[in-house]
Amino acid sequence: MGSSKDKKRGKTKKKKTLAEKADRFICYQKSVQSPDHEVEFFEQAFRDAYRRKPYSLREDFCGTFSVCCEWVKSNPKRTAMGIDLCGETLQWGRDHNLARLSDSQQARVRLIEQDVRKRNRPKVDIVAAQNFSFWIFKTRSEVVAYLKAARANLKPEGIMIMDMMGGGDCYLEGNVDKRTIKKGAKGFKYHWKQISYNPITHDASFSISFRFNDGSKLENAFEYHWRFWTIAEVREMLEEAGFSENHVYWEGEGEDGEGNDKFSRQEVAPSSGCWIAYIIAVK
């Protein structure tokens, strides 16, 4: 018969790992999103097109809509509309992002659970489709239909903003981009993995995983199954959808050869293993 001390040990609950305690959406926002940078760039791109400030934003595929929240925080006249099909993700955003805003700021954020290809009122200055989200549309006809809907959701003077990625490394199956997001005992690492790529169809699968300092991990916390579109293809489809002009904003290089988050209009860019760019379409 075991001692009372042995019985007590048997009742001791197993300590949770850092991965078990982690919130995948918090990890995602810390790893992938820079809402303050996005808002700054949106304003820059709109000023380049119309020489004035933008005030209304529609964030398609908004997820936890952190950009919407940052947008209304940046100016008391600004309004934001977030569109996404996933009710769970929108609710997380309400609980964790919207709840942090003041009452007046919250009143200027509108959330809609629907397909991004639907049209809504009021029309806006900027439609943004970030994090390569429109790549979920795998055929030309689907993308053009989405771009036409996005254009219809813009005011007469409006722009659409999309980010793009590419480079030879993005086509290598098994390639992993690793970054340390936070150091210390509660720190974690971000892994972006190229799971598969079909050069015939351009179908591609990616995943995001998180690694923690106790050795635990959130494997495939997010998965994406997209078509890998090129800048040239998207620019052609924007013309087909009726946009009057479009421009590519390419990321500049820092002293270490890495990106420095400064984007400028370019028509010629250097070839590299991995790059990030924006396409700005003017209505």
pLDDT for the residue 258? 54
pLDDT interval class at 170 (50, 70, 90): confident
pLDDT for the residue 184? 74
Q: What pLDDT digit, counting tens, does each position of 216-252 carry?
A: 999 999 999 999 999 999 999 999 999 999 999 998 8
**Percentage of the chain modeled with pLDDT above 90:** 81
Going by C-alpha positions, the residue among 86, 19, 77, 22 that lies closest to residue 53 is 77
90 DSSP 8-state letter: H
Q: Which segment of 122-136, 179-193, 248-262, 269-283 scores lowest on mean pLDDT?
A: 248-262
pLDDT interval class at 272 (50, 70, 90): confident
Q: What pLDDT digit, counting tens, does each position of 43-93 carry?
A: 999 999 999 999 999 999 999 999 999 999 999 999 999 999 999 999 999
pLDDT for the residue 254? 52
Q: Output the average pLDDT for the chain.
A: 91
Is the pTM of the predicted complex or chain greater than 0.75? yes
Query: Residue 43: is it exposed, middle or buried by C-beta count within 10 angstroms (0-12/13-18/19+)?
Result: middle
Query: For strand 124-129 and strand 154-166, is the pairing parallel, antiparallel, or unpaired?
Result: parallel
Q: What pLDDT digit, counting tens, does each position of 130-165 carry?
A: 999 999 999 999 999 999 999 999 999 999 999 999
Cβ atoms of 161 and 45 closer than 8 Å? yes
- Domains of the chain: which residue ranges? 24-166+228-282, 168-225
Which contacts (CB < 8 Å, 24+ apart) does range 83-91 have? 83/58, 83/59, 83/112, 83/114, 83/116, 83/120, 84/111, 84/113, 84/116, 85/113, 85/114, 85/115, 85/116, 86/113, 87/113, 89/25, 89/63, 89/64, 90/62, 90/64, 90/65
pLDDT interval class at 13 (50, 70, 90): low
pLDDT for the residue 198? 95
Q: Where are the alpha helices (DSSP H) in 34-190?
A: 35-50, 66-74, 87-96, 103-106, 140-152
pLDDT for the residue 271? 86
251 DSSP 8-state letter: E
d(CA 222, CA 191): 11
Going by C-alpha positions, the residue among 254, 251, 245 that lies closest to residue 277 is 251
Cβ atoms of 82 and 124 closer than 8 Å? no
CATH match of 24-166+228-282 with 1.10.10.10: no
Per-residue b or e along 90-128, where b marks 16 or more CB atoms closer than 10 Å to that residue's CB: bebbeebbbeebeeebeebbebbeeebbeebeebbbbbb
